[in-house]
Amino acid sequence: MSTLTLAKALNEGMRKAMEDDPKVLIMGEDVGKLGGVFRVTDGLQKDFGEQRVIDTPLAESGIIGTAIGLALRGYRPVCEIQFDGFVFPAADQIITQLAKMPLRSLGKVRLPVVVRIPCGGGIGAVEHHSESPEAYFTHTSGLRVVACSNPADAYTMIQQAIRCDDPVVFFEPKRRYWEKAEVDTSAEPAGWPPFDQAQVVRQGTDLTVLAYGPMVKTCLEAAAAAEEDGRSLEVVDLRSLNPLDVARVTESVRKTGRCIVVHEAPVYNGFGAEVAARVTETCFYNLEAPVLRVGGPSTPYPPSRLEDHYLPDLDRVLDAVDRAFAF
Amino acid sequence: MTADAPHGAEAPPELVQLLTPEGERVEHPDYDIDLTPEEIRGLYRDLVLVRRVDLEAVALQRQGELGIWASLLGQEAAQIGSGRALAETDMAFPTYREHGVAWCRGVDPVNLLGLFRGVNHGGWDPAEHNFHLYTIVIGSQTLHAVGYAMGVQRDSAEAATIVYFGDGATSQGDVNESFIWASVFNAPVVFFCQNNQWAISEPLEKQSRIPLYRRASGFGFPGVRVDGNDVFACLAVTRKALADARSGQGPMLIEAFTYRMGAHTTSDDPTRYRVAGELEAWKLKDPIERVRAYMFKNQLADQEFFDAIDAEADDLGRDVRKRCLALPDPEPLAIFDHVYAEPHRLMDEERAQFAAYLEGFEG
């Protein structure tokens, strides 16, 4: 066991993946000498060299497009998109090529490319640095979309994403990069939960809270507060958004009879809409209340002086819990 | 240039040419080629056969057997010349019009027809032929080619990568990004731009104020313009560029100056945007006729040879047609196949649901 920040856990996970497989490459803007603007790739270029940790020109489409070419040559590139709001120049390559080329080849081509995206707000940043674009990618068949919420998962999930033969969009909760936890770096990968599996991170009996990425911690805090009011909330960290672990979600909601889904992204057409629809289909006769969604307003991300109002917090989660119980 | 002037019909001075439209061999100070009569007969055969397959495909589309077809008519020399320049270990990244290059790489023409018929989106194995899948989004494949070339560098392999794109694609961000990447990483890649003068209805001057090959200098690597209707010149220039790339001299841009003699695709109507005289002017520069004239003049082949090639072309056309019509429609549940390489529960779930739905119609 070692105590690692989430950023360091990702770093250690990538280091392990690079040691295990010489075909694993890191590429992106400032990922080499600087170690990334969040230092997630710190020290990797020093130890693995410029051929494997590539400081790229400043063009996101170029990063993903050349990563596809490297994957066609047998490499396993791990691309860093510097900030969530900068992924859009690469969206064309991700959606029209990365997601669809394996099908285009009738399975003869595999593209084991990981697209790492620091996501979400809460760091007082300027425009385009605080967004949650996951729904654009969960809507794109051919991609796997995952989100880690804590250092232990960051360490294992990044390695599982790199080992996966499908392209993976990997969301990292940037405001949690500096939070520390115990990480068991010696556990055998065979014992890790599959990275497309949801995890119950707090047991409860009265209401299921579904969350992922940065909102998991907020929801755990809300569950602790709710307990003082005599409400037992079960918190499920979805971890994988495509595919969604419908079985685990269903199991939890059938037990509790109430469900809210929480994310930072705008509610309207957000990923929570898919979750709510699925839960309604699988748990209709068990539900005591409609599945409620908690998320950002359906507006662009606001200037940072307003972000505390925009981002769901403990009180917003508890407000939804109250509404679910009042129904 | 006024709207009515023929596009590109007057040969620009920078053009590398080894065989004139009249079939005369000419010298070039930087590029030359020494071809045996057998090699020349082989090139002629390639040119004729790919034109015949193309003609058959257009006919199949007109008869409702293909959804659409993108004809290579007029661009045979650019594609056969560059395609025959490739070594076996070189990798080619095509657009959706590289039927001639596909031929050189041993891809069955029926595979190409399958895509346009709609039985799949491609489906050949790029690694088997060192010929990547057709890419329909304009210019996307240039980045894939450069990434692949970066992989070649990391493997310390002696191989080059060639990527095809058109004049319209040079306006795309991805193409410009690929130039930058190739330049700063000194990637072993040849950018082969077939300037066929038209991006659907838009003439070259909507894409560029300067000749396209000169764009390369701004990115820091050489560019050359070659007569795209001259198979000898295309072969010579591409062969040199590939050899330079393999030996670590980095990227090069080749602008093959040619002409799209047909429509953009079978859905297009070029009479709406270009004058008939333009096509007539370019017909005089036909890529096949000049080789035939050269062979006749130099007695590299007799009438019997030309007749035999024509007969072979007709046989090929018939064979391609027959096998195209025999392509089975995929089974409905194939929709869910190959979307992911590893098991994916949403695919499994929806496949099962759809199968159950379909079973409801049986019996």
Confidence at residue A26, expressed as pLDDT on a 0 to 100 scale: 98
The answer, for B220 touching chain A at a CB cutoff of 8 Å, is no
Section B233-256 average pLDDT: 98
**B232 shares its domain with B288:** yes
**B158 shares its domain with B226:** yes
Nearest chain A residue to B183, by CA: A57
**B307 shares its domain with B173:** yes
Q: How far is the C-alpha of B221 from the C-alpha of B235, rounded, in Å?
A: 20
Contact B159/B91 with Cβ under 8 angstroms? yes
Interface residue of B150, B180, B327 to substitute, partner A, most A CBs within 10 Å = B150
**B199 shares its domain with B348:** no
Contact yes or no for A69 and B339 at CB 8 A: no
Q: How far is the C-alpha of A193 from the C-alpha of A180, rounded, in Å?
A: 21
Contact yes or no for B133 and A109 at CB 8 A: yes
What tokens appear for A260 in the block?
């809210």
What tokens appear for B127 in the block?
């690694």
Known catalytic residues of A are 129
Contact yes or no for B148 and A73 at CB 8 A: yes
Confidence at residue B2, expressed as pLDDT on a 0 to 100 scale: 42
Write the CATH number for B265: 3.40.50.970
Cα torsion B99, B105, B107, B108 to 10°: value is 80
The answer, for B186 touching chain A at a CB cutoff of 8 Å, is no
pLDDT in tens, A120-157: 999 999 999 999 999 999 999 999 999 999 999 999 99
Mean pLDDT for all residues in chain B: 95
Confidence at residue B6, expressed as pLDDT on a 0 to 100 scale: 55
Q: Which residue type is seen at B77?
A: A
| B16 within some domain | no
Residue B9, pLDDT above cutoff 60: no
Q: Are strands A168-173 and A114-119 parallel, antiparallel or unpaired?
A: parallel
pLDDT in tens, A50-107: 999 999 999 999 999 999 999 999 999 999 999 999 999 999 999 999 999 999 999 9
Residue A1, pLDDT above cutoff 90: no
pLDDT in tens, B107-134: 999 999 999 999 999 989 999 999 999 9
Residues of A in contact with B327 (CB under 8 A): none
**B273 shares its domain with B198:** yes
SS3 sequence of chain B: CCCCCCCCCCCCCCCECCECCCCCECCCCCCCCCCCHHHHHHHHHHHHHHHHHHHHHHHHHHCCCCCCCCCCCCCHHHHHHHHHHCCCCCEEECCCCCHHHHHHCCCCHHHHHHHHHCCCCCCCCHHHHCECCCCCCCCHHHHHHHHHHHHHHHCCCCCCEEEEEECHHHHCHHHHHHHHHHHHHCCCEEEEEEECCEECCEEHHHCCCCCHHHHHHHHCCCEEEEECCCHHHHHHHHHHHHHHHHCCCCCEEEEEECCCCCCCCCCCCHHHCCCHHHHHHHHCCCCCHHHHHHHHHCCCCCHHHHHHHHHHHHHHHHHHHHHHHCCCCCCHHHHHCCCCCCCCHHHHHHHHHHHHHHHCCCC
Section A231-257 average pLDDT: 98
What is the end-to-end Cα distance of chain B in Å, rounded? Answer: 68
pLDDT in tens, A286-303: 999 999 999 999 999 999
**B122 shares its domain with B242:** yes
**B322 shares its domain with B343:** no
Catalytic residue among B260, B290, B292, B321: B260
**B79 shares its domain with B134:** yes
pLDDT in tens, B195-219: 999 999 999 999 999 999 999 999 9
| B3 within some domain | no
Contact yes or no for B338 and A56 at CB 8 A: no
Residue A39, pLDDT above cutoff 50: yes
Domains of chain A: residue spans and CATH = 2-191 (3.40.50.970), 199-326 (3.40.50.920)
Nearest chain A residue to B348, by CA: A243
Residue B94, pLDDT above cutoff 50: yes
Residue B1, pLDDT above cutoff 50: no
ipTM: 0.97
Nearest chain B residue to A168, by CA: B340
Contact yes or no for B341 and A103 at CB 8 A: no
| B18 within some domain | no
Share of chain B above pLDDT 70, in %: 96
Q: Is B148 a catalytic residue?
A: no
Contact B7/B285 with Cβ under 8 angstroms? no
Angle at B219 between CA B213 and CA B223, to 5 degrees: 25
| B1 within some domain | no
Catalytic residue among B62, B121, B273, B340: B273
| B100 within some domain | yes
Residues of A in contact with B118 (CB under 8 A): none
**B230 shares its domain with B348:** no
**B245 shares its domain with B348:** no
Share of chain A above pLDDT 90, in %: 100
For chain B, what is the domain count? 2
Q: Which residue type is seen at B26?
A: V
- Binned at pLDDT 50, 70 and 90, residue B3 comes out as very low
| B336 within some domain | yes
| B17 within some domain | no
pLDDT in tens, A185-197: 999 999 999 999 9
**B266 shares its domain with B293:** yes
| B209 within some domain | yes
Which residue range forms the structural domain that includes residue B355? Answer: 332-363
**B133 shares its domain with B187:** yes
